[in-house]
């Protein structure tokens, strides 16, 4: 995960980590390389710039030039800032409702249906949760089918209404069905499109209004780099969502989305998807991710 970024940051910090003399000049040089590494990983220019400025301020504040182990201190400062940038503490999902309603949003192909299954499976394994999956993509019968296949695989009921073209009504009916049948979590999978468009946004906003979810999650493919951040912004403007799910982190992603999203929409990344299988779900811990990136 993020091998390229790890390698470049390691290289950038190498001089300071070594035993060479630490000077203001090579601190500046190092930060320039850190910035370049972030930009190469698809981190937005402004974010990369303010990141290195903060690291510089901290480094000067902590007198990095005069400490005994300046290299280690610099690595620590960069790691702390990276953790902060990705969200600080891990954020859980709100499951206080009965049932707790979780609405999935995102573009087509981002991994919504797969993640809906993963989350249902994850919660089901917690024993106290009985999830219901809801298929609200009325445009693509294949998507409804896909959710049924997933549900069968993990042993979770899937609610769908054949012939009903009104996703708002389906979502409402599903919540009523959950109440009647003792399901305490309702995960609503919705229709996405290939790009942000008004109809999709209006539809998801209407579903959101109708079922007042405890959690609205935005699912995004981390492979889409800076686009992931732009899409997040567009969905957040409409839904004011609660958290982000970053999928496909097992692929050849450069990491920019994971690093940038929190600072652009100010919403935490809650889970990551690390494969196609139902078990490939992890709670997102910013500090663990920073540890991973900085080796
Ligand atoms: P949706 O259109 O948003 O519902 O997206 P899908 O759930 O159908 O996912 C689109 C494709 O991405 C499918 O082939 C999934 O198997 C794949 N996929 C989803 N999540 C992940 C992930 O975390 N890692 C990998 N490698 N593939 C994923």
Q: Which residues contact 83 (CB under 8 A, 6 or more apart)?
A: 286, 287, 289, 290
- Residue 112 alpha carbon to ligand 1 centre in Å: 7
In a 3-state reduction of DSSP, which class is residue 171?
helix
Residue 195's pLDDT is what?
Answer: 82
Residue 273's pLDDT is what?
Answer: 97
Q: β-strands 100-105, 243-247: how paired?
A: unpaired
CA distances 255 to 26, 55, 260, 261, 273, Å, are: 26, 19, 9, 10, 13
Ligand 1 pocket test: which of 112, 195, 276, 281 has the largest number of ligand atoms within 8 Å of its C-beta?
Answer: 276
- Residue 239 alpha carbon to ligand 1 centre in Å: 22
Residue 18's pLDDT is what?
Answer: 65
Answer whether residue 155 shows pLDDT above 80.
Answer: yes
Query: Is 109 marked within a binding site?
Result: yes
- Residue 274 alpha carbon to ligand 1 centre in Å: 10
pLDDT in tens, 57-92: 888 887 776 776 777 888 899 999 999 999 998 888
Residue 143's pLDDT is what?
Answer: 92
Give the residue with greater pLDDT, 140 vs 295: 140
Query: Is 251 marked within a binding site?
Result: no
- Residue 295 alpha carbon to ligand 1 centre in Å: 28
- Residue 114 alpha carbon to ligand 1 centre in Å: 6
pLDDT in tens, 10-28: 888 887 776 456 677 778 8
Question: 252 falls in which pLDDT band (50, 70, 90)?
Answer: confident
Residue 21's pLDDT is what?
Answer: 61
DSSP letter string, 51-66: HHHHHHHHHHHTTTTT
Helix (H) or strand (E) holding 148: helix 141-154
pTM: 0.94
Query: Is 193 marked within a binding site?
Result: yes
- The number of the ligand 1 atom at minimal distance from the alpha carbon of 106 is 3
Ligand 1 pocket test: which of 114, 122, 274 has the largest number of ligand atoms within 8 Å of its C-beta?
Answer: 114
Q: Which residues line ligand 1 (CB under 6 A)?
A: 106, 108-114, 192, 247-248, 250-251, 273-276, 280
- Residue 240 alpha carbon to ligand 1 centre in Å: 24
Q: How many helices (H) and strands (E) does the chain have?
A: 11, 8
Q: Return the percentage of the chain with pLDDT > 70, whole number.
A: 98
pLDDT in tens, 162-173: 999 999 999 999
Query: Is 110 marked within a binding site?
Result: yes
Burial of 198 (0-12, 13-18, 19+ CB in 10 A): exposed
- The number of the ligand 1 atom at minimal distance from the alpha carbon of 114 is 7
Look up residue 94 and give its two tokens.
């709100």
């Amino acid at each position: 995960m993020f091998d390229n970024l790890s390698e470049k940051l390691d290289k950038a910090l190498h001089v300071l980590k070594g035993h060479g003399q630490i000077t203001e000049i090579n601190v500046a040089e190092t930060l320039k390389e850190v910035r370049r590494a972030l930009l190469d990983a698809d981190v937005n220019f402004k974010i990369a710039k303010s990141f290195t400025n903060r690291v510089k301020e901290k480094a000067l504040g902590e007198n990095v030039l005069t400490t005994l182990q300046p290299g280690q201190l610099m690595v620590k400062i960069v790691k702390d800032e990276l953790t902060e940038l990705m969200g600080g503490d891990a954020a859980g999902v709100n499951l206080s409702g009965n049932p707790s309603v979780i609405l999935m949003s995102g573009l087509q192909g981002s991994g919504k249906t797969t993640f809906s299954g993963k989350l249902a499976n994850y919660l089901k394994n917690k024993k106290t949760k009985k999830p219901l999956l809801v298929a609200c993509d009325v445009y693509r019968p294949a998507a409804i089918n896909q959710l049924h296949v997933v549900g069968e695989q993990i042993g979770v009921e899937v609610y769908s209404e054949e012939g009903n073209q009104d996703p708002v009504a389906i979502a409402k009916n599903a919540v009523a069905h959950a109440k009647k049948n003792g399901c305490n979590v309702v995960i609503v999978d919705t229709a996405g499109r290939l790009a942000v468009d008004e109809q999709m946004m209006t539809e998801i906003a209407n579903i959101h209004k109708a079922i007042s979810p405890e959690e609205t999650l935005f699912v995004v493919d981390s492979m889409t780099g800076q686009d992931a951040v732009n899409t997040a912004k567009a969905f957040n403007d409409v839904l004011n969502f609660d958290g982000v799910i970053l999928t496909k982190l097992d692929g050849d992603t450069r990491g920019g989305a994971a690093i940038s999203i929190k600072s652009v929409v100010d919403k935490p990344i809650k889970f990551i998807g690390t494969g196609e299988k139902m078990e490939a779900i992890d709670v997102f811990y910013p500090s663990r991710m920073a540890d991973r990136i900085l080796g």
